[in-house]
Chain A
């Protein structure tokens, strides 16, 4: 390694590597908890980031820069898999708000706070892929509907409807889990 290369590597290691665990967390949410796929995704992200390191402005938000690379890497790959079987039977999704069932026992949704982090993460990762991705991008990453639609090249109405169903499905899963665990009666 030449001296400038060494400095570049040191810079990358001190700026980018501390975000590895956060990237892996996002990778796991997007891949539905597939550790091997998430590791490959983060590795590919870091490789791209390292190659593009000269375009990163030191002092700007490195975490958000890396998250964007990871998201784009993931979505490019997702869009390439054209012959995916339909992963969701849309008709089977219950859309009844959990509130209707919980309003007499827990109208404020206090049971949510009794769930532990791992239970919530598992429920998110267990959503069908077409529902999981919009939910992760909107609720975990904070993207707007239009941003998600642009990423997927989908109409914004489709994103809206998938996100709606994803949330209803997630709250249903969490509610049923909370009943099972005795967090709610």
Chain B
């Protein structure tokens, strides 16, 4: 957004890049209530600086969600748990 846009119409409601940046995860998590969620959305929609950053952060979160969980096998653990069940039963 150029300086000449400031104060014109809807643009005057724009939050700063700094504010948007501080709320990036809350926004992507859907944890910002109304009207903050809309304010950030409006900013990101217009701001060429923030838009790619938000996309990057979204890709990062999707990635962590996809990769962060992995099953882990342990034969020893299975034996321990089976023994507990039988002993308790």
Mark A residues whose CB is within 8 Å of B: 1, 5-6, 8-9, 12-13, 17, 20-22, 24-26, 28-29, 35, 39, 42-43, 46-47, 50-51, 97-99, 102-103, 107-109, 112-113, 115, 117, 120-121, 124, 135-136, 138-140, 142, 144-145, 160, 163-164, 167, 170-171
Contacts and interface: CB of A to CB of B under 8 A. Distances in A.
Given A46-B85, A107-B56, A144-B29, 4 more contacts: A50-B84, A120-B68, A124-B64, A171-B60
B71 A25 contact: yes
B71 A22 contact: yes
A42 B78 CA distance: 10
Interface string B15-47: 000000100011001010000000000000000
B70 A25 contact: yes
Interface centre among B52, B71, B76, B85 (most CB of A within 10 A): B85
A50 B56 contact: no
B81 A46 contact: yes
Contact of B26 (A12, A107, A160): A160
A43 B77 contact: yes
B13 interface: no
Contact of A17 (B61, B82, B88): B82
Contacts of B31: 144-145, 160
A108 B52 CA distance: 8
A98 B80 CA distance: 43
A109 B64 contact: no
A1 B71 CA distance: 32
Contacts of A170: 64
Given A20-B81, A99-B53, A5 B89 contact: yes
Given A24-B77, A140-B65, A144-B31, A107 B85 contact: no
A13 B84 CA distance: 11
Chain B, interface size: which category?
Answer: 35 or more
B52 A107 contact: yes
B52 A47 contact: no
A1 B64 CA distance: 45
5 nearest A-B residue pairs (beta carbon): A21-B71, A140-B68, A120-B67, A99-B56, A112-B63
Contacts of B65: 139-140, 142
B72 interface: yes
A120 B64 contact: yes
Contact of A109 (B63, B68, B78): B63
A39 B76 contact: yes
A129 B89 CA distance: 36
